[in-house]
Structures are given as C-alpha cells and as structure tokens.
Chains A and B, each alone.
Chain A
Amino acid sequence: MIEKKIIKEHGLTEQEYEKIVELIGREPNLTELGIFSLMWSEHCSYKSSKIHLKKLPTSGENVIQGPGENAGIMDIGDGLAIVFKIESHNHPSFIEPYQGAATGVGGILRDIFTMGARPIALMDSLRFGPLSQAHNKSIMEGVVSGIAGYGNSIGIPTVGGEIYFNKCYSPNPLVNVFCIGLARKEKIFYAKAEGAGNSVLYVGSKTGRDGIHGATMASAEFDEDLEKKRPNVQVGDPFKEKLLLEACLEVMDKDLIVGIQDMGAAGLTCSTSEMASNSGSGIAINLDLVPQREEGMTPYEIMLSESQERMLIVAKRDKVQAVQEIFEKWDLEAIHIGQVTDGDKLKVEANGQEVVNIPVDSIVNLCPVYDRPFERPAYLDKLDQLDSLPLPENLNQTLLDLLTDPTQADKEWVFRQYDHMVQTNTALLPGADASVIRIKGTKKALATTLDGNPLYSYLDPKSGGKIAVAEACRNLSCVGAYPIGVTNCLNFGNPEKPEIMWQFKEIVEGISEACLAFDIPITGGNVSFYNETDGKPIHPTPVLGIVGIIPDLDKSIGPGFIDNGEAIFLLGNNRDEIGGTAYLKSQFQMEKGRPPQIDLEEEKRVQNLCLEAIDDGLLSSAHDISEGGLALCLFECAFLSAKKIGCVVHLSDNIRSDSLLFGETQSRILVTAPSHHLSRILNLAKERGVFAKKIGETGGAKIEIGHQNKTLIDLDVQTAFQAWKQAIPESFKIR
C-alpha cells in the first residue's frame, strides 16, 4: 500500500490514485506510480485544458498532421512539408535560466527532427520582470545566453521573436521556444512502434539522474522551496544533439526505421508508452541494457529521468545493424533495449525482475479529464474604467520614454547573441514584423512570427486571444506572406482557480474565432499552467506562432523606409482607443481600460489589401501598427531604414492627440510607396473597401508629426535612434 503522503508528493489526487488502482486492477508499485504521476501531470496530459482546446480549428486541406504528434505538419507544395511547434520551458528557466532555456531549445529541436524534418529556424517569445531589478536581469542574461549557447552550437538560426517586460513576470519568466523544419513529404516519420518483434533502440546520451520529475515540476506553482528544485533541471549538450540530428536524419533518409520518438518530458516512460499506444502494440524493455551515467540508479530513476539528447527508435530486426553503423559514424551508439510486443502492455524488466507491467492505454489515454469551474474575475470591473487623464505637456519626451521602455526598445543586444544567419536562408534580419526564410531551390520563402499581448489578454481575454492571431497574421501580411498555419503556447496561472480557468476559456475562444475567420488551422502547441509565484499569477499570455508563405521572395518587402520623397499611407482607420496601451503603462504606470477591439472582417480586408499591393509591386515598405501606436510605428520605420530616413506626417482626425499618436487601434498598417503609385493604391483600397489615406512623405533627418494646426512631435531621427538602441544595453552596463 502506498502512503497518502507519497501520492501527494507525486502530484496526484486521491481520486486519481483510485482510478489508477481501478485501471490496473491492483495497487501500483513505486515505479509505476512515478510513471502515472508523470504521464498524468498537467504538462503531459492536458487534463485541465483538453476540454477547451477541442474548440480550436485543427483541420485544413494542407494539414498533414494536426495536434497530438510531436509537431504539426503542413504541405507547402513542391513536394515539401513544414514541421513546426512551440513549447514552453518556463519553469526550468525560472529555476536555472541558462540550462532551462538551452534545454528548451534542445527539446523543441528534437520534436522537429524526430519527424524527419531538418530544423531551419528557431524563434523565442521571452517575458521577463522589469530590468530595474537585478534578479530579472540575471534571469534574462541567463536565458538569452542559454538560447544562444544551444542554438548557435547546433547551427540552427534563431531568426527573431519577441521580448516583453512586465512586473507580472517577476520573477516567473516565460520562455516559449518555436522551431520550424523542412521535410520532403515522403520522408515524414511518426512515433510508431509497429510490428511485434521489432527492435527498440536507445540512442544518444546516457541516462542520468537529472530532470527527474521535470514534468511534474512544470505542473506546480513555485514557493520558497524553489531552490530545492534545482537538481530537477536538465543539462543540455548541443554537440551531442548535433550528432543525433545528423545521425537520425541519415537513418530516416535511408528508410531503415519504423518509428522514432524523442525522449523529452517524461523521458523513457513517455517515449515507450506513446509509441506503443500510437500503434496499438505493447512494448517490453530491459533497463539493465539502458546506458547509464552513474551506478546504482533505480528503475524508478531510469524511467523518470529527463536526461537530454536521447531518442528511441523502433527498427526492423534485419535493419538494426545498418542503423547501428550510421550511429557509429557519428560517434554515437544505438543500443537494443527491448522489442515491440503483441498485446497492450508496457513491461519493464530490471535485474531479472519485472518492475512495471501496465496497459499503455491507461498511462497515455485514460488520464482523467477535468471540466474545471470558471468564473469571470472581479478585477475586471475595476480595471474596465478609465478616469480622464491629463495630456502630457511634452509629447516628444513621452515618445522617447515609450521607445526606451525595454518592451519597445531595440532588441539588438539580444539578437546579436544569436547566430541568426547560419544556413544562409535568413532574408530579413531580426527586428522586423516577421522573419523571412528562403527555401533554397524555389522562389518561395517562409515567414514566421510570434505574437501575444499580455495586457490585452489581462484586461479582455477574448479580445486578447483574437488580437494575438490577427496581429501575427498582420505581421506576416507586412512582408507579403499568406498565413497558412498556427501553433500556440498558452501560459497561465493555476487552473484550479476559477478566474484563471475563465481567462483560459475566453482566450481559447478568442483564438478559435480568429483562426476560423482567417481560415488557418492550429496544428499543435502547448499549455503551461501554474505560472504563479507565492500565489500571484502572471497575466494570461497566449503566444501565437504563425507561419506564412511568400510565393515570390523577390516581391517581399520590409518595414524600413526605403527612399526619400516617398508617400506614406495609412491603411485602416484611426480610432480613439487608449485602454491597455503601452502608453498608459509607460506614462501613467497604468494597466487599465478597455483594450482595442477588433473587427475580424475589417482586419482581413486591410491585410488582403496589403498583400495585394505587395504582390502588384506597388509598395516599398510596410509596418504593422501595434504597441506604441502610429507614432512609434513611424519611428520604427525610420530606425529600420538603412539610411535612417525621417518623415513629415500630418493627421487630421478628430481624436485627442495622445490617443491618436499612441492609441493601439487594430487593423492598421503603415505603408510607403513611390508617389506615382498614389492613385493606384487609393483606388485599390476603395475597391477592397478599406479606408486608406496619404498621411505624409518620407525624407529628411527628422520626424515631424502634425495634428490639425499643431505640431505634436518634432524629433531628430538620430537622437531617437540612439536612445532606442541604447536602452537595453544601458540596463546591462556594469556600473
């Protein structure tokens, strides 16, 4: 009989324990209990989120693989498929920033190459507490170095991403890692363990005691005992993973294997049981054959270890030697540890004794699913209302404050630590609306972006969910890419609290509505709950990773002004929406008000117009208007222009000046074009039912923004540029 205390320590409830006993028809032993605790953890089982995630659209004509596998797969033509996914590594990065982030990269890479794809790009969505606190700085420094250390070494470019700062992420950072890979359609592999008698091969690093209970840790809140959890974090070895990547792709290319699965969260337990469950088989392994880093490891420890850089392969008996030869070439071993069996059991043997004997289905598919109670949080009533605010006296200063706020400031300090150019496909450098990755041998390119505004999601979760999708698609439209598929990472507090569950439900519904409107399927993703420290949750943070296709890379454009004397157009309408803006936060330290609302049909019309104008070759640049509003957008266009070109803009809208400059009304894109395209652009906009207007011209070394008969902003581009560029490095200067 297992004591209640031990059950609780494994993160299982008494009811869950009773269900285990019922499923296997007896009390589990400790190793079996450990296996259930991992596979039934929130991280592996999605037990609180499943019921809501079902609302997301997941099908589409180009979907080859939707949610449920290691990553989503979509057909992109030319016999090629993209494999992509986003994963959180929040909890490990909190405990040990460098290794936590590094192994986050390692884990997502394995998810991609285990399906037969060569990873071609990484991106990260990072959220930290304010840099005014030393602790947050050290977390950020560690996370960025960890991402760089792993990605640079293995030679997959980290092509961009987003970085937000908010006190809700202090000290619980969010580290969401996105990866995309490219595969030949006929070379896609799945986590299958078919054919009784086929060999189960263990490849990669030896198994050690690191990472034991990683998945259960990721399913708990943090408290003062945090430091004790440090040994739970795994340690990454990017060199080993590089060898594993090359060897795995080589055996897949030569058609030597039946199925393959990486050992990520829940290690050997998850890979063996999932592969068997996916194929309706049983699987039997002998732990004495598993390569071990240290002596005296118990079956419990071996089954639960989350040591990195390990894979499980199922190969036909007669191909085992050929597989082993390829691994030897890469200085790795492929070791036979068991076989696929008839039946439906996971059987594990150690020291000549059977230590595990449970139906794979019970671990993989029969975890209880919860419909947790939800309730609209009371805080929303207080935050909805905005009192009248004074107009800042010096709008130039307000603007400088906004663009030196780390969330809006230049992120080059981060991006230049990442090798973002290796593989020679990066056609647009980090910092633009989206990353552009050419596909060698074709005219096409892929565009990828990560997006999710925590303030909107906090103040109005449903809008936050919709806008996250819409804005990511808008980012893609700005480089001329048609959105095709979505992966998402949903970061929340404790789902056992009804308010958190309500946020989750609302956001999922918002995302779903927007994905349906854009007709883009969600092909996978990840949910990270329990992002709380001492009972304080983070703002709900959905991160949407959306991939688009650029049919002809030569037509793609970027955000920076290209030339002097070009016309600046605003596509979309200015509205008086000041709630939830970066401006309120920066100027009044306020996270309040109704965030911008979105009309998805209007949004689509604006994006389609932008795409059509790019395709017709009418535009020189395009940039999405988001945090910081129209004013910040104009400055970014100047900063991202190779020649640091300024502009003169005049606005006539009847809107209070701060709201006009810094409001974050959605469905707006700022574009430039040679003057002789003016009438074509305006006519096209009219035909497509989009409000478009010429608001100024590029040129000069200043940015001047006039409103009715007043000058609101008059700033030297170089001055603003230096302030923007230096803000983050200044925070890290040793004084």
Chain B
Amino acid sequence: MKFGIVIFPGSNCDYDTFNVLRDVFHMETVFLWHKDHNIKDVDCIILPGGFSYGDYLRSGAIARFSPLMQEVKEFAMKGGLVLGICNGFQVLLELGLLPGAMLRNKNLKFLCQHVHIRIEEKKTPFTKRGEKGQVLRIPIAHFDGNYYDSEEGIETLIENNQIVFRYSEHNGLISDKGNVNGSKESVAGIINKAGNVMGMMPHPERASEAILGSEDGKIIFQSIIDWLA
C-alpha cells in the first residue's frame, strides 16, 4: 500500500501529511512533483494544504493546470482514492472533481483554530472507522473555507449523501455558532458521487498525535488504510 502526496509550488502541509503517514501509520509514502506526469503507482493520492501558487487569482485556481493533474484526474476516474485537505480541497473544486466553490470566511478573516466536525457518512473509504454522528475535534486554518453551491447543488449533495462532515458544536449540534466560516449546510467535507474523491477543510494531519492536542484526525487516515487493505 502506497500513498502519494502532491507538491505544488506553495504547498506547505506536504511534509506534515507525509510525516503522519510515515511516522504515525508506518505507510510507504512518496512525494509527487506537480510538473511530472508520474503518479508512481500509488494507491491513494493526497492533495495537501498550503497556498499553491500563492493562491493568487483564486485559491487552487492555478494548481489545476499543473501537468500532474491530468494523471490525478485519470486516477480518480478509474476509482483511485483521492483526498484533498484544505488547499487540496480547493484544488479539487477547481479541477471539477468535486462540486461547489469556496467563499471567504464569513468574518472575512483567516481562521486557525480547533473546530468540531460531525461525521455525516460512515459508508465512505475515508470515514469507515468512525461512526455516524461522531464528533471530531480537528483544526482548521484557512481564509477561503466558506463552502458554497447553488440550492440545487446542495440538494443533490444531500440526496446522494455526499456531505461527509459538517461543522458542529462540541456536542454535535449543528448551529450557526458551530459553523465558524459560514459554509452552506455547515459543510466541512464532501465526497464525489462515485465515493472515491473527498475534500475537507479541516486538517486531520494536525490532529493525529496526542502532543498536538487531538488524535481525532487519525480516523480518516486509518479508514483509508483499512479500505485499501
């Protein structure tokens, strides 16, 4: 089982994600360079957080043109597991692998803090180790995490059970208070219809070691490992 982490110019959670997979989960993990056309036979591709291309123009907008994205798309079409975290989620939206778009946070400020998210779907490769309704404490760190889609778009997501995580209060209550960035339907993470491409704004790699204050993020990586096993 092999994980590949994409490095765009401006990625800055590439090593954080790499370290968790290698040192916490002892997985074979490689970096995938954005200019290459080679995904090195990996079983799961992770698009990490950061500011690809400085997030100039629009978050994730330039990264979608990176040469490697061709291969990532093909890999996803064939059912390969793709996880986009934070900026990686924004890239997946720009690539069209996931629906919707990101607006600025509702308070118009960058937000870095621990938040609570509720697992809405257990039947995905990314959450199978969790329980529906389970609340995870995981940090966010973004300026553009206010998820938006049209009414029909949101309805489709709900109908197809594509909303995987919602922002909540610590007890799992979905409310304006818990919805820190103002996302529609409190969306914190969604999956594609085929169920193999997921994007999430919170950073599970920042919540996978006790020393960092939470290990709730491990559920996501452990689920992928179980699924691939």
Known contacts A152-B141, A417-B110: does B53 contact A239 (CB below 8 Å)? yes
Complex: chain B residue closest to A556, CB-CB = B211
* A423 contacts partner chain B, Cβ-Cβ < 8 Å: yes
- Of B13, B54, B213, the contact of A422 (CB 8 Å cutoff): B13
Q: Is the pair A421, B50 in contact by a Cβ cutoff of 8 Å?
A: no
Q: Across the interface, which residues of A come within 8 angstroms of B211, CB to CB?
A: 427, 438, 553
* B177 contacts partner chain A, Cβ-Cβ < 8 Å: no
- Of B110, B113, B213, the contact of A152 (CB 8 Å cutoff): B110
Q: Across the interface, which residues of B come within 8 angstroms of A330, CB to CB?
A: 9
Q: Is the pair B10, A423 in contact by a Cβ cutoff of 8 Å?
A: no
Known contacts A239-B54, A440-B19: does B209 contact A424 (CB below 8 Å)? yes
- Of B20, B23, B51, the contact of A155 (CB 8 Å cutoff): B51
Known contacts A416-B111, A429-B213: does B12 contact A424 (CB below 8 Å)? no
Complex: chain B residue closest to A149, CB-CB = B110
- Of A148, A155, A417, A427, the contact of B50 (CB 8 Å cutoff): A155
* A242 contacts partner chain B, Cβ-Cβ < 8 Å: yes
Tell me how far the C-beta of A442 lies from the nearest C-beta in chain B, rounded to whole angstroms. Answer: 12
Complex: chain A residue closest to B54, CB-CB = A239
In the assembly, what is the distance between CA of A330 and CA of B8, in Å? 10
Known contacts A418-B112, A421-B139: does B12 contact A238 (CB below 8 Å)? no
Q: Is the pair A239, B16 in contact by a Cβ cutoff of 8 Å?
A: no
Q: Is the pair B212, A153 in contact by a Cβ cutoff of 8 Å?
A: no
* A426 contacts partner chain B, Cβ-Cβ < 8 Å: yes
Q: Mark B126-145, 1 if CB is under 8 A from A, else 0.
A: 00000000000001010100
Q: Is the pair B19, A419 in contact by a Cβ cutoff of 8 Å?
A: no
Tell me how far the C-beta of A671 lies from the nearest C-beta in chain B, rounded to whole angstroms. Answer: 22
In the assembly, what is the distance between CA of A240 and CA of B54, in Å? 8
Interface centre among B10, B56, B139, B143 (most CB of A within 10 A): B10
Q: Is the pair B212, A426 in contact by a Cβ cutoff of 8 Å?
A: yes
Q: Is the pair A152, B212 in contact by a Cβ cutoff of 8 Å?
A: no
Q: Is the pair A155, B212 in contact by a Cβ cutoff of 8 Å?
A: no
CB under 8 Å from chain A, chain B span 179-219: 203, 205-206, 209, 211-213
CB under 8 Å from chain B, chain A span 373-425: 415-424
Q: Across the interface, which residues of A come within 8 angstroms of B54, CB to CB?
A: 153, 237-240, 242
Q: Across the interface, which residues of B come within 8 angstroms of A326, CB to CB?
A: none
Q: Is the pair B9, A239 in contact by a Cβ cutoff of 8 Å?
A: yes
In the assembly, what is the distance between CA of A427 and CA of B212, in Å? 5
Q: Mark B144-170, 1 if CB is under 8 A from A, else 0.
A: 000000000000000000000000000
Q: Across the interface, which residues of A come within 8 angstroms of B111, CB to CB?
A: 416-417
Interface centre among A153, A154, A240, A438 (most CB of B within 10 A): A153
Complex: chain B residue closest to A155, CB-CB = B12
CB under 8 Å from chain B, chain A span 39-56: none
* A337 contacts partner chain B, Cβ-Cβ < 8 Å: no
Tell me how far the C-beta of B22 lies from the nearest C-beta in chain A, rounded to whole angstroms. Answer: 11
In the assembly, what is the distance between CA of A240 and CA of B56, in Å? 11
Q: Mark B45-81, 1 if CB is under 8 A from A, else 0.
A: 0000111011110000000000000000000000000
* B123 contacts partner chain A, Cβ-Cβ < 8 Å: no
Known contacts A152-B141, A416-B112: does B51 contact A422 (CB below 8 Å)? no
* B109 contacts partner chain A, Cβ-Cβ < 8 Å: yes
* A331 contacts partner chain B, Cβ-Cβ < 8 Å: yes
Q: Is the pair B112, A420 in contact by a Cβ cutoff of 8 Å?
A: yes
* A243 contacts partner chain B, Cβ-Cβ < 8 Å: yes
In the assembly, what is the distance between CA of A415 and CA of B10, in Å? 22
- Of A329, A331, A422, A426, the contact of B12 (CB 8 Å cutoff): A422
In the assembly, what is the distance between CA of A145 and CA of B109, in Å? 8
Q: Is the pair A424, B141 in contact by a Cβ cutoff of 8 Å?
A: no
In the assembly, what is the distance between CA of A553 and CA of B210, in Å? 12
Tell me how far the C-beta of A422 lies from the nearest C-beta in chain B, rounded to whole angstroms. Answer: 6
In the assembly, what is the distance between CA of A419 and CA of B50, in Å? 11
In the assembly, what is the distance between CA of A152 and CA of B112, in Å? 10
- Of B35, B109, B141, B209, the contact of A419 (CB 8 Å cutoff): B141
Tell me how far the C-beta of A11 lies from the nearest C-beta in chain B, rounded to whole angstroms. Answer: 35
Q: Is the pair A153, B13 in contact by a Cβ cutoff of 8 Å?
A: no
Q: Is the pair A417, B10 in contact by a Cβ cutoff of 8 Å?
A: no
Q: Across the interface, which residues of A come within 8 angstroms of B109, CB to CB?
A: 145, 416-417
Tell me how far the C-beta of B26 lies from the nearest C-beta in chain A, rounded to whole angstroms. Answer: 15
In the assembly, what is the distance between CA of A141 and CA of B48, in Å? 29
Complex: chain B residue closest to A554, CB-CB = B211
Q: Across the interface, which residues of A come within 8 angstroms of B50, CB to CB?
A: 155
In the assembly, what is the distance between CA of A465 and CA of B150, in Å? 60
Interface centre among B51, B143, B213 (most CB of A within 10 A): B51
Tell me how far the C-beta of A617 lies from the nearest C-beta in chain B, rounded to whole angstroms. Answer: 17
In the assembly, what is the distance between CA of A331 and CA of B56, in Å? 15
Q: Is the pair A148, B110 in contact by a Cβ cutoff of 8 Å?
A: yes
Known contacts A238-B54, A239-B9: does B112 contact A417 (CB below 8 Å)? yes
Q: Mark A152-194, 1 if CB is under 8 A from B, else 0.
A: 1111000000000000000000000000000000000000000
Tell me how far the C-beta of B135 lies from the nearest C-beta in chain A, rounded to whole angstroms. Answer: 16
Complex: chain A residue closest to B53, CB-CB = A239
In the assembly, what is the distance between CA of A153 and CA of B50, in Å? 7
Complex: chain A residue closest to B56, CB-CB = A239
Interface centre among B12, B16, B20, B113 (most CB of A within 10 A): B12
In the assembly, what is the distance between CA of A47 and CA of B10, in Å? 40
Complex: chain B residue closest to A429, CB-CB = B213
Complex: chain B residue closest to A441, CB-CB = B23
Complex: chain B residue closest to A425, CB-CB = B212
In the assembly, what is the distance between CA of A155 and CA of B17, in Å? 13
In the assembly, what is the distance between CA of A242 and CA of B87, in Å? 16
In the assembly, what is the distance between CA of A440 and CA of B24, in Å? 12
In the assembly, what is the distance between CA of A421 and CA of B139, in Å? 8
Q: Is the pair A239, B10 in contact by a Cβ cutoff of 8 Å?
A: yes
Q: Mark B21-52, 1 if CB is under 8 A from A, else 0.
A: 00100000000000100000000000001110
Complex: chain A residue closest to B111, CB-CB = A416
Tell me how far the C-beta of A10 lies from the nearest C-beta in chain B, rounded to whole angstroms. Answer: 36
Q: Is the pair B16, A238 in contact by a Cβ cutoff of 8 Å?
A: no
CB under 8 Å from chain B, chain A span 312-337: 329-331
In the assembly, what is the distance between CA of A149 and CA of B108, in Å? 13
Q: Across the interface, which residues of A come within 8 angstroms of B212, CB to CB?
A: 421, 424, 426-427
- Of B12, B35, B49, B113, the contact of A154 (CB 8 Å cutoff): B12
A-B CB contact pairs (8 Å), 27 listed: A145-B109, A152-B51, A152-B112, A153-B12, A153-B51, A154-B12, A155-B13, A155-B50, A155-B51, A238-B54, A239-B9, A242-B10, A242-B12, A242-B54, A243-B9, A329-B35, A416-B111, A417-B110, A418-B110, A421-B112, A421-B203, A423-B15, A424-B16, A424-B205, A424-B209, A429-B213, A438-B211
Interface residues of B (CB under 8 A from A): 9-10, 12-13, 15-16, 19-20, 23, 35, 49-51, 53-56, 109-113, 139, 141, 143, 203, 205-206, 209, 211-213
5 new A-B contacts at CB < 8 Å, known A152-B112, A239-B54, A330-B9: A152-B110, A154-B12, A243-B9, A416-B113, A422-B13
